[in-house]
Amino acid sequence: MAHRDKKDEEDGLVNPFLGLEKSTVLQEARAFNEMPIRVSKCLMILTKLLFLIHQGDTLGTREATETFFSMTKLFQCPDVRLRRMVYLTIKAMSTISEDVIMVTSSLMKDMTARDDTYRGAAIRALCTITDNTTLQSLERFLKQAIVDRNPSVSSGALVSSLHLLNKGHDVVKRWVNEVQQAASNNSAMSQYHALGLLYHIKAKDRLAVQKLVATQIKKHLSSPFATCQLIRYSLKVIEADPDANHDDLHDFLESCLRNKSEMVVYEAARAIVNLKNVTARQLAPAVSVLQLFLSSPRPVLRFAAVRSLNKVSISHPNAVKTCVLDMENLITDSNRSVATLAITTLLKIGNEASVDR
């Protein structure tokens, strides 16, 4: 009963985003031109505007451009929060409005500002509206940002560079030294983004990828995300040349099974069971960590483990035999997908004796 009362009360509240009319919001957006700028009012209008775009409302090019133009006036206001919302709107409108390029200089000013709080976000917004011609003029700043000491700045620049690879592969390729530097001395997430960018720059050159992976596995990457990524790249290297000796890579994969992050342990186990010519000796430790996950209280872990073991059971049914008991416990799992996967796995590895139980 208490719950119901609460709900009724809620329904009485006005949801500011319900039944928003496009024309009304665009009308309100004219307030951007008013001086002095009223921060909270403008914040609300920008939120409504983003909400409309997220809901799938389509703005016409003319109305979008007009709104975009008045929004640029908000750059005169130093409020950080407002500025960040302006960036979001720039990104959301970058494909529907014309002449978005006119905010380039404002964003460039922000990305080189002394205040770190919005530099990363400014870079990401700037790179969304950048085309091939302006990319050249940004090059110097982006290279600097990649090696910036602030992780949000360097991550912002690295991720943007990755997005830009499609537009200007040749330009981004030239930043390889800076990216390399970011990969070795920055925060955990920057490490991840730098490693990803390095891989994508070199992806077409098999030897370069091999070399990259060989160098990186010698370091102890602190980021679980970066380590997962490196596991994937190692798998690529092994797959690309299955006959070569990859002992160092196999050792790396096995060492990741002892990582303190479950995400990494799982990624390594998953990589090992997916190896094409995997030996029983390589498979055993991977199967045992997956077996441990089977009895985890977290559904996500059980799901991940049973899904991988299901895959193993197709190619190496014998390797999964040890998990039969744990698997049988999952037949009645509260998560239906887990139960289904457990049953199909058991069918693949089962014999008459287990069918009886």
Partner 1 sequence: CSLFNLEASLYTIKGILILDNDGNRVLCNVCCRWLCLSVCCAPACAHAPLCPQYYDDALPTVKEQRAFEKKLFQKTAKANAEIIMFDGITCVYRSNIDLFFYVFGAASENELLLATVLGAYYEAISLIVNRDTLEKASLLEQMDTVLLITDELVDKGIVLNTDAESLARIATTTKS
Nearer to partner 1 by Cβ, of 176 and 354: the residue is 176
Nearer to partner 1 by Cβ, of 7 and 280: the residue is 7
Nearer to partner 1 by Cβ, of 263 and 314: the residue is 263
Nearer to partner 1 by Cβ, of 229 and 291: the residue is 229
For the chain, how far is it from start to end, CA to CA, in angstroms? 45
CA-nearest of 75, 67, 61 to 104 is 75
Instruction: Compute the least distance from the CB of residue 112 to partner 1, in Å.
Output: 16
Residue 331 DSSP class: G
Instruction: Compute the least distance from the CB of residue 47 to partner 1, in Å.
Output: 5
Instruction: Compute the least distance from the CB of residue 239 to partner 1, in Å.
Output: 10
Nearer to partner 1 by Cβ, of 81 and 174: the residue is 81
Cα–Cα distance, 130 to 354 (Å, whole number):
62
DSSP structure string for 108-155: HHHHT-S-GGGHHHHHHHHHHH--HHHHHHHHHHHHHHHT-SSHHHHH
Instruction: Compute the least distance from the CB of residue 190 to partner 1, in Å.
Output: 10
Phi-psi bin for 115: left (phi > 0), alpha (psi -120 to 50), beta? beta
Instruction: Compute the least distance from the CB of residue 357 to partner 1, in Å.
Output: 25
**Segment holding 336, helix H or strand E:** helix 336-349
Nearer to partner 1 by Cβ, of 71 and 85: the residue is 85
Distances (CA, A) of 227 to 125, 150, 161, 221, 259: 28, 21, 21, 6, 10
Nearer to partner 1 by Cβ, of 32 and 199: the residue is 199
Instruction: Compute the least distance from the CB of residue 27 to partner 1, in Å.
Output: 20
Instruction: Compute the least distance from the CB of residue 204 to partner 1, in Å.
Output: 8
